[in-house]
Chains A and B, each alone.
Chain A
Amino acid sequence: MTAEAIKRWYFVHKWTSLISTLFLLLLCVTGLPLIFYHEIDHALGYTIEPPELPEVTGRASVDAMVADALARRPDDALQYVMREADEPDIWFVALGETADAPDVSAFYTYDARSGEYLHEYPLRQGVMYFLFRLHYDLFAGLPGTLFLGAMGLLLAASLVSGTVLYGPFMRKLNFGTLRRQRSRRLWWLDLHNLLGIVTLAWLLVVGVTGVINTLAIPILGHWQATQLAEMTGSYRGQETAPSLGTVDRALAAARAAEPDKELSFMAVPGNDFASPGHFVAYMQGSTPWTSRLLTPVLIDARSGAVVDSRELPWYVIALLVSQPLHFGDYGGLPLKVLWAVLDLLAIVVLASGVYLWLKRRNVPFETWYGAAVAEGDEALPAAVSRHGRSA
Chain B
Amino acid sequence: MSRRGKGRRTWGAPIALALLSVVGLLSALFADGLGDVVSWVALAAPVAAVVWCMARSA
A-B interface pairs (CB < 8 A), number:
102
Contact B56 A176 (CB under 8 A): yes
| Chain B residues in 8 Å Cβ range of A341 | 47
Residues of A within 8 A of B19 (CB): 201
A316 at interface by CB-CB < 8 Å: no
A342 to B20, CA, bound (A): 14
- Given A171-B6, A197-B14, do A334 and B30 touch, yes or no (CB 8 Å)? no
Given the known interface contacts A178-B57, A195-B50, the answer about A200 and B25 at a Cβ–Cβ threshold of 8 Å is: no
Per-residue contact bits, chain A 156-187, to B (CB 8 Å; 1 contact, 0 not):
00000000001100110011111010000000
Q: For B14, what are the chain A residues with a Cβ–Cβ distance below 8 Å?
A: 166, 175, 197-198, 200
* Given known A175-B12, A176-B56, A202-B43, contact A288–B28 (CB-CB < 8 A): yes
Residues in A with CB closer than 8 Å to B35 are: 288, 331
CB distance from A208 to the nearest CB of B (A): 11
Chain A interface residue bracket vs B: 35 or more
Flag if A335 contacts B40 (CB, 8 Å). yes
A338-B40, A338-B43, A391-B6 as given contacts; A201 in contact with B29, CB under 8 Å: no
**B residues less than 8 Å from A170 (CB atoms):** 10
Closest chain B residue to A209 by CB distance? B25
Q: Does A143 contact B (CB under 8 A)?
A: no
Docked CA distance A52–B9 (Å):
58
Most buried by A among B14, B17, B39: B14
Contact assessment for A171 and B10 in the assembled complex, using a CB-CB cutoff below 8 Å: yes
Interface size on B, residues (CB 8 A): 35
Within 15-30 of B, Cβ neighbours of A (below 8 Å) are at 17-19, 21-22, 25, 28-30
Tell whether, in the assembled complex, residue A331 and residue B36 are in contact, meaning their CB atoms are under 8 Å apart. Answer: yes
Residue A307 at the chain B interface, CB threshold 8 Å = no
Query: Smallest CB-CB separation from B42: which chain A residue?
Result: A338
Given contacts A195-B50, A338-B43, A387-B1, contact A201 B22 (CB under 8 A): yes
- 1/0 per residue A120-158: CB within 8 Å of B? 000000000000000000000000000000000000000
Smallest Cβ distance from A329 to chain B, in angstroms? 10
Chain B CB within 10 Å, residue with most, of A170, A332, A338: A338
Contact in complex: A201, B53 (CB < 8 Å):
no
Within 8 A of A (CB), among B35-58: 35-36, 39-40, 43-44, 46-47, 49-50, 52-54, 56-57
Cα A387 to Cα B1 with chains together (Å): 7
B56 touches A202 (CB 8 A): no
On chain B, the residues within 8 Å of A180 by CB distance are 57
Contact assessment for A176 and B13 in the assembled complex, using a CB-CB cutoff below 8 Å: yes
Neighbouring A residues of B57 by C-beta, 8 Å: 176-178, 180
- The verdict on A288 contacting B46 (CB below 8 Å), with A167-B10, A198-B14 known, is no
Contacts of B12 in A (CB 8 A): 175
Question: Given contacts A200-B18, A384-B1, is CB(A345)–CB(B47) below 8 Å?
Answer: yes
Binary B-proximity of A27-42 (CB < 8 A = 1, otherwise 0): 0000000000000000
A332 touches which one: B11, B25, B29, B36 (CB < 8 A)? B36
Contact code string A193-209 (vs B, CB < 8 Å = 1, else 0): 01101111110010000
Closest 6 CB pairs of A and B: A176-B53, A331-B28, A201-B21, A178-B57, A198-B46, A175-B13
**27 residue pairs A–B, Cβ–Cβ below 8 Å:** A176-B13, A176-B49, A176-B53, A177-B57, A178-B54, A197-B14, A197-B17, A198-B47, A198-B49, A200-B21, A201-B18, A201-B25, A202-B21, A205-B25, A330-B28, A331-B28, A331-B36, A332-B28, A332-B40, A334-B40, A335-B28, A335-B36, A335-B40, A338-B40, A341-B47, A345-B47, A388-B6
Supplied contacts A288-B31, A331-B35, A391-B6, 9 more A-B pairs, CB within 8 Å: A176-B49, A176-B57, A194-B53, A197-B17, A325-B25, A325-B29, A335-B39, A342-B47, A388-B1
